[in-house]
């Protein structure tokens, strides 16, 4: 009896306090509300401790409708009231779908009962609204209107490459052209390489090499140039016959198609399988070197010479060197050295350097006054041209007669400034060239004054390669068994 009296006293005091707080609530209304106030929650907790039956939890046992039944009519929030007050809160028509109604009810209810501020902060309208905007912005929705058959957007992702392959089989030329244009854009990215290869784009292109449309041929060559950046793709290109097709396209009268084909061959020549195919075909290398002379396009000629450089494999492929020499490569290079294009001049000198490792090429270059032509490039301001010229001279001056020609044409003073050049490769070439020239007594006498400079370079350089070249040059410059002449 004492416990019941105490409970009823607490309940009556609770109801009186609630009536003062909300005058519109009656005592019967509160009794039906399952003690939905914070004070009632604490009472329920005490009831659980003393063993009173039917405890009520305000969090899990009370619904929003019950809580709203405790509120005065002016405090009850509905979707219609929120929509009418949208201008004040900048809500607009966001409540039409009913998503925000539940959130707004909880917000007003927690404010009325003075619940935890953290809960109110989490349910702040601005935070929820900003997050919902991000959700809607990044969710994938169906297209508003049907898309055309040839439409490809970023939403397709990995499905883009298979669709390109399917569109390449279309009977409409415009569709095939657009599909190849997509392939050009997709294959230009590293990820796109593998997507296109995995989708079977190379096999699909084998059925497009016989196209008569010039634009289609150009797109095919560009796509092959992009895919040649993958080694596995180069092997597939060789197996499917694309290398021979690209060589055939080099003879085209269209400059853009020739350039795209040569660029694709240049990228593919990084692969050993492609290089072997180019060298084994007897007429391929002579065809490229003759085409570089007669092509009329300096950029295309530069690509052709760079392909030949890679096929020579650093001057170690004797078969390739012999075929180029039989095709009069040295006279052609002497002609290309007079070209106004610096890129073509550099490519010609680099190829001449590799070919000059063969004794027959040295003799041909000397007979064609190659030493004098190369010395003229040492006075250019372009460091790349100076480096290529010293490399070619370094290769030629291994021959005794070439050393004499170099000294007679006053070439020693021209290489002295390059010994301690800021360009490491140019310095390496100049030191090796000085070592070659110092084998001749006349050249050694002219270079004798540079011993101190080479010694300083040996002591202060941080490059072990440069120190090795400097040490070899010092050894040759200090050679005294043969007197100066």
Q: Residue 431 pLDDT > 60, yes or no?
A: yes
**CA atoms of 297 and 358, how far apart (whole Å):** 29
Q: Residue 383 pLDDT > 50, yes or no?
A: yes
Better-predicted residue by pLDDT, 159 or 414: 414
**CA atoms of 281 and 243, how far apart (whole Å):** 11
Instruction: Assess contact for 271 and 236: CB atoms under 8 A.
Output: no
Q: Is 232 helix (H, G, I), strand (E, B) or coil?
A: helix
Tell me which residue has tokens 């979707």.
79
Among 103-112, 140-149, 199-208, 350-359, the minimum mean pLDDT is found in 140-149
Domain annotation covers residue 461: no
Domain annotation covers residue 439: no
Looking from the CA of 163 toward its CB, the CA atoms found within 13 Å total 19
Same domain (yes/no): 199, 269: yes
Tell me the mean pLDDT in the region 440-462: 91
Better-predicted residue by pLDDT, 56 or 250: 250
Same domain (yes/no): 193, 97: no
pLDDT band per the 50, 70, 90 thresholds, residue 318 = confident
Q: What is the CATH number of the domain that holds 167?
A: 1.25.10.10
What pLDDT does 135 receive? 54
Q: Residue 344 pLDDT > 90, yes or no?
A: yes
Same domain (yes/no): 11, 100: yes
Segments in 269-297 forming alpha helices (H) = 272-280, 284-294
Same domain (yes/no): 7, 113: yes
pLDDT tens across 133-166, in order? Answer: 555 555 555 555 666 666 655 555 567 888 899 9
Same domain (yes/no): 101, 130: yes
Same domain (yes/no): 48, 175: no
What pLDDT does 117 receive? 45
Better-predicted residue by pLDDT, 283 or 75: 283
Domain annotation covers residue 28: yes
**CA atoms of 443 and 485, how far apart (whole Å):** 10
* Distances from the Cα of 115 to the Cα of 44, 60, 84, 122, 217, angstroms: 17, 15, 26, 12, 73
Single out the residue in 276, 311, 344 at which a domain terminates.
Answer: 276
Q: Residue 1 pLDDT > 90, yes or no?
A: no
Q: Residue 15 pLDDT > 90, yes or no?
A: no
Domain annotation covers residue 170: yes
Total-model pTM:
0.65
pLDDT tens across 77-86, in order? Answer: 444 444 444 4
Single out the residue in 244, 276, 308 at which a domain terminates.
Answer: 276
Which range marks the domain in which residue 214 is found? 158-276
Q: Residue 294 pLDDT > 60, yes or no?
A: yes
CA dihedral for 124, 125, 127, 128, sign (positive or negative): positive
Domain annotation covers residue 134: yes
Average pLDDT taken over every residue of the chain? 78
Tell me the mean pLDDT in the region 274-291: 90
């Amino acid at each position: 009896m004492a416990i019941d009296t105490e409970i009823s006293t607490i309940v009556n005091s609770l109801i009186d306090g609630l009536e003062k707080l909300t005058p519109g609530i009656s005592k019967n209304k509160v009794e039906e509300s399952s003690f939905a106030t914070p004070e009632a929650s604490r009472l329920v907790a005490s009831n659980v401790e003393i063993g009173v039956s039917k405890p009520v939890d305000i969090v899990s046992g009370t619904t929003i409708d019950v809580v709203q039944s405790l509120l005065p009519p002016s405090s009850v929030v509905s979707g219609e009231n929120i929509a009418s007050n949208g201008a004040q809160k900048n809500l607009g028509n966001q409540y039409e779908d009913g998503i925000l109604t539940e959130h707004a009810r909880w917000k007003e209810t927690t404010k009325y009962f003075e619940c935890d501020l953290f809960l109110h902060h989490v349910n702040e309208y601005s935070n929820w609204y900003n997050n919902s905007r991000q959700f809607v912005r990044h969710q994938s929705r169906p297209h508003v209107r049907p898309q055309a058959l040839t439409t490809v957007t970023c939403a397709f992702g990995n499905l883009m490459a298979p669709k390109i392959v399917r569109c390449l089989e279309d009977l409409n030329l415009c569709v095939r052209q657009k599909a190849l244009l997509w392939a050009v854009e997709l294959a230009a990215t590293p990820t796109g390489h593998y997507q296109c290869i995995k989708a079977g784009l190379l096999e699909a292109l084998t059925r497009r090499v016989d196209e008569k449309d010039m634009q289609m041929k150009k797109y095919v060559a560009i796509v092959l140039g992009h895919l040649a950046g993958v080694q596995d793709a180069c092997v597939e290109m060789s197996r499917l016959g694309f290398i021979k097709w690209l060589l055939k396209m080099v003879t085209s009268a269209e400059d853009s198609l020739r350039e795209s084909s040569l660029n694709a061959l240049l990228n593919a020549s990084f692969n050993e399988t492609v290089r072997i195919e180019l060298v084994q075909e007897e007429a391929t290398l002579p065809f490229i070197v003759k085409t570089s002379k007669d092509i009329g396009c300096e950029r295309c000629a530069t690509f052709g010479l760079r392909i030949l450089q890679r096929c020579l494999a650093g001057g170690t492929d004797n078969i390739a060197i012999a075929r180029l020499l039989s095709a009069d490569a040295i006279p052609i290079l002497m002609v290309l050295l007079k070209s106004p294009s610096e890129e073509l001049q550099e490519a010609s000198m680099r190829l001449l350097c590799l070919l000059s490792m063969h004794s027959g090429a040295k003799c041909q270059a000397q007979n064609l006054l190659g030493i004098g032509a190369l010395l003229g490039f040492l006075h250019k301001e372009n460091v790349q041209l100076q480096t290529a010229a010293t490399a070619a001279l370094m290769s030629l001056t291994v021959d005794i007669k070439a050393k004499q020609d170099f000294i007679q044409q006053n070439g020693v003073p021209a290489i002295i400034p390059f010994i301690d050049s800021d360009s490491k490769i140019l310095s390496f070439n100049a030191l090796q060239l000085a070592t070659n020239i110092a084998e001749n007594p006349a050249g050694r006498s002219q270079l004798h004054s540079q011993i101190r400079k080479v010694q300083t370079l040996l002591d202060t350089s941080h490059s072990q390669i440069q120190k090795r070249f400097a040490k070899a040059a010092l050894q040759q410059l200090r050679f005294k068994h043969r007197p100066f002449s």
